Amino acid sequence: MNLPDYNFTALTPALILSLWAILILLVDLLFGERIQRWLSWLTVAGLLVTGASALSLWNVRAEGFSGMVVLDNFAIVVTVIAMIAGILAVLLSSDYLVDRDLFRPEYFALMLFSITGILLLASGRNLIMLFLGLELLSIPLYVLTGFARPDVQSEEAAMKYFLLGALASSFLVYGIALTYGATGSTDLLKIRDALQNVQVITSTLTLGGLILILVGFGFKVAAVPFHMWTPDVYQGAPTPITAYMSVGAKAGGFAALLRIMYVAFPQIASYWTGALVLLAIATLVVGNLLAIQQSSLKRLLAYSSIAHAGYILVGLAAGNNRGVAGALFYLLAYAFTNLGAFGIMIALSKKGEEADSIESYAGLSSRQPWLALAMTVFMLSLTGVPLTAGLVGKIFVFSAAAEAGLWTLLIVAVLTSVISAFYYLRLVVLMYMRDPINDFGTQVHLTPGVRTALALAVIGTVLLGIIPGNLIDFTNQTLAITTQTLVALVH
Amino acid sequence: MAVSVTNYTVLSAMLFTIGIIGVLTRRNAIIVFMSIELMLNAGNLAFIAFSRAFGSVDGQIFVFFVLTVAAAEVAIGLALIVTIFRSKNTADIDDISTMRG
């Protein structure tokens, strides 16, 4: 009997992470409350080990399980982004949970399982793997969203997220079924080969499959018009989960979309670039315009996360190597910046009093100068001001769009980022130029976890902003290899 | 008359559409969820039909995975619905919904 070639190397990071999740459950079972306060650090250790194992396989390009999974540089970059989101979110979680009597060890295990889903989405090269990865990412997230029960908002958010997430999965499944019907395979490379045939390209099944797959992932990355769930879910979920979701779910969704579009569907690029341009324009306009009128910071960041999905879509729509590199860099920059912004919210919140109202940030600079400064850095980076990571990300995706000649999209993207300055900078103005209206921010206890997370986020945001030259070279070099593996590899 | 793969595809498309209509028109969370299950099963039917037409098992394997994942989703989904029913005494989506804007 011949056993297929497993090659577990290709799954190393995902295996380590899922085993670590089980380890956390076991450790809790054996030691119980005695080690409760160390659990978050144990989780962070797991994420660090996973990240290191992924980086040690740089340029190795392992392929396993008959081409089901492939660990190339693209997958490793996404893995690193997922690790950053995971580490920052876990560091922000522990004390938040303890304060609100929500501390249960399953929280960390669920989080690791969800991150494993991102890793599978990043390295899956078969639609079966991508579907499973998406579900592994989503199902723990539904539970985590409702983790603050019996808080009614959290339950409502979990329910909405679950129903719309399941709806998105069913679109995806049907889309995959149609693609299978058109091409006879779920393997991305075989789909690509089948699409050499003109009859297959013009078949209704191919087009229907492509559209439904786009809809399915559109829900996950919160692209307009599939964004309706985002503000409610972000508002209701526990803040550290919102922070993780805003980056993690996006990274996973975009990684899978990139791989599907670039590996399986390059023959019909004219179809999907057109669709992505429309999605990107709608997402940019709606996200940025609706963010202006928000009075809740969490909802503002929700609409802002929709808008940022739009900028990443600009990179995807460009359909060139620079676009892939730009989308990845943007996700990396966004991971540091957005988790940082949520981190400030968490630092200023206490039980029963979330730091959610934008008005209450007035005069924060006089009470918490360091937190106000950090928040300013994050807001500037989200706006895209020089010397921050956000600007480099934007330049990257904008230049990709220019290279592809998508001028309308480029103009919309630039104009909407000017609009976004209004609502991001309003917060900065409030913090520095107004007097405090209540005792908000007078008693803040910064725990080591939150301190570490905020420091990492600020350092990441600034470093990615001031060494862009080297980094772009580095990323370009990487992505020369990455996109080669993504686009040029056939067998 | 033999039943061809086209017939199955059309049937699955009809089931999928009925599912979408159910999701859009029904307000009870459990019925909405059932409609979503119908959409998933429409996908499964299409997979089986194509799989048989091609004489390959890939599609059938996919159906196994979809069934497994759907089972996991049911477990989580019903748990969430029960939780929210306990605190709000209703499973009506419009009544549950308080967050706006």
pTM, two decimal places: 0.94
Residue of A nearest to B48 (CA): A177
Q: B31 touching A, CB under 8 A?
A: no
Q: What does the longest C-alpha to C-alpha distance in chain A come to? A: 77
Q: A357 touching B, CB under 8 A?
A: no
Contacts of B87 in chain A (CB under 8 A): 149-150, 152, 155
How far is A5 from chain B, CA to nearest CA, in Å? 18
| Chain-chain contact of A152 with B76 (C-beta, under 8 angstroms) | no
| Chain-chain contact of B59 with A146 (C-beta, under 8 angstroms) | no
Give me the architecture of the B5-90 domain, per CATH: Orthogonal Bundle (1.10)
| Chain-chain contact of B83 with A128 (C-beta, under 8 angstroms) | no
Contacts of A146 in chain B (CB under 8 A): 80, 83
The residues, any chain, with a CB within 8 Å of residue B31's CB and separated by 6 or more, are B22
Q: B24 touching A, CB under 8 A?
A: no
Interface pTM, i.e. ipTM: 0.97
**Per-domain residue ranges of chain A:** 8-488
**Per-domain residue ranges of chain B:** 5-90
For residue B47, give the nearest of A199, A201, A173 by alpha carbon: A173
pLDDT in tens, chain A (491 residues): 566 678 888 899 999 999 999 999 999 999 888 888 889 999 999 999 999 999 999 888 888 888 899 998 889 999 999 999 999 999 999 889 998 989 999 999 999 999 999 999 999 999 999 999 999 999 999 999 999 988 899 999 999 999 999 999 999 999 999 999 999 999 999 999 999 988 888 889 999 999 999 999 999 999 999 999 999 999 999 999 999 999 999 999 999 999 999 899 988 888 899 999 999 999 999 999 999 999 999 999 999 999 999 999 999 999 888 888 889 989 999 999 999 999 999 999 988 788 889 999 999 999 999 999 999 999 999 999 888 899 888 988 998 999 999 999 999 999 999 999 999 999 999 999 988 888 888 888 889 999 999 999 999 999 888 875 555 555 555 555 444 444 443 32
Asked whether A99 and A444 are in contact (CB, 8 A), the reply is no
**What is the distance between the alpha carbons of residues A314 and A397, in angstroms, rounded to a whole number?**
6
Asked whether A351 and A360 are in contact (CB, 8 A), the reply is no
Q: A207 touching B, CB under 8 A?
A: no
Residue of B nearest to A139 (CA): B73
- Cβ–Cβ pairs < 8 A, chains A and B: 131
How far is A50 from chain B, CA to nearest CA, in Å? 25
